[in-house]
Amino acid sequence: MSPPTVQPVDLRQYSRCGGCGGKLAAKTLSSVLCQLPGFDDPRMLVGAEGFSDSGVYQVSDDLAIVQSVDFFSPIVGDPHAFGRIAATNALSDVYAVGADPCTALNILTCPQGEPGPDAIRDILLGASDAVREAGAVVLGGHSLRDEEVKFGLAVTGTVRPTQVLTNAGARPGDRLVLTKPLGVGMTMGASRRGEVVQALYDKAVESMTCLNAGASRAGVDAGAHAMTDVTGYALGGHAFELAEASGVTIELVLDDLPLLPGLGAVIKDENLPGAVATNREYVGDALAPIELSYEQNAILFDPQTSGGLLISIAAEKADELVERCLENGCLAAAVVGSVEPRGEHALRCR
């Protein structure tokens, strides 16, 4: 007798809003965080202010620890791919400050009895693959029953205190380099509806599972002034935060943005995540008046899951940085804008 056929589990049935598009609206979160008291400790090099990607705490003259946590519900159906995407995304926050991850803790929730032990094992295996590739280790984790499947990591990394990069260091005259193509949110929206070609879907998954290690190392080695990763608040939202934290104006060149190949076919209302609207609302009047096309607005505010790094670097080093990124295995690397002295608006597009 042949063994019973095991039906594959589609984890998306356990999520209402997958990936980084499920973040709390940035406008809501910022209104809450500004009411919380800060911590006065000279060893805290980077805290929650300015929507920094990770916290940084100095433990000695030449060592600081970096900590971040990130988790979300499934954006893809395959358990192994979901685990790897979630882990890659969590590791990205450590890479965004120029640090190296060293340890991770799993965070898992799922309904009682579902999606089953095989699927849970595969989620954890996918995550461990990404953590191993990053040169780090998983020390353990924590799980809870919940109505939805959710998974991610709490990550600890290390960095020299003098080498910490944040989103607050962009300087007028810099150029901006983006290290992954845009369009993940819309692509996954189309996938849920069964309306995406396999090649586009595969490119989106490849992008989400590509570590930002190479981009981070390239930025550090090339002398970057600031870095941030582009995730749930979209390129527009994270560029706005970069401008606010640095006290500058960011100008993005829309025609230069790298996109997933074939993205145009899925840019339509039914595929747009709800976060496109909340991300646009978050930026609000900080965006200089411009007549954006439907497609440009969708691309600019599409939430990215495990997106690339947005790196601010001296203009004369921008081309070198692009070359370093591509040599280090980045799927895309392009100069997408510039940093200008602070004007009336934090964000401009042309």
pLDDT band at 20 (very low <50, low <70, confident <90, very high): low
Residue 152: the pLDDT is: 97
CB-side neighbour CA atoms (13 Å) of 33: 14
Could you give the CA distance from residue 246 to residue 128 in angstroms, rounded to a whole number?
35
pLDDT tens per residue across span 208-240: 999 999 999 999 999 999 999 999 999 999 999
Rounded (10°) angle between helices 318-327 and 213-222: 150
Nearest to 243 by CA among 174, 180, 184: 174
Mean pLDDT of 141-152: 94
Average pLDDT, the chain: 93
Q: Determine contact, residues 254/262, Cβ cutoff 8 Å.
A: no
Rg of the chain over CA atoms, in angstroms? 19
Residue 1: the pLDDT is: 43
Question: Could you tell me which residues are beta bridge partners of residue 338?
Answer: 175, 251
pLDDT tens per residue across span 31-76: 888 788 888 899 999 887 767 778 999 999 999 999 999 999 999 9
Residue 339's alpha-carbon distances to 207, 244, 319, in angstroms, are 26, 12, 16
* Percent of the chain with pLDDT strictly greater than 70: 97
pLDDT tens per residue across span 84-136: 999 999 999 999 999 999 999 999 999 998 899 999 999 999 999 999 999 99
Residue 7: the pLDDT is: 56
The verdict on domain 11-163 having CATH code 3.30.420.40 is no
Q: What is the DSSP string of 257-307?
A: --B-TTGGGG-SGGGS-THHHHHHHHHGGGBPP----HHHHHHHHPPPSS-
Q: Would the pLDDT of 19 be above 90?
A: no
In the chain, what are the domain boundaries? 11-163, 174-349
Residue at token pair 């040169």: 135
pLDDT band at 5 (very low <50, low <70, confident <90, very high): very low
Q: Would the pLDDT of 321 be above 70?
A: yes
Tell me whether residue 36 is exposed, middle or buried, using C-beta atoms within 10 angstroms of its C-beta: 0 to 12, 13 to 18, 19 or more: exposed
Class assignment of domain 174-349? Answer: alpha beta
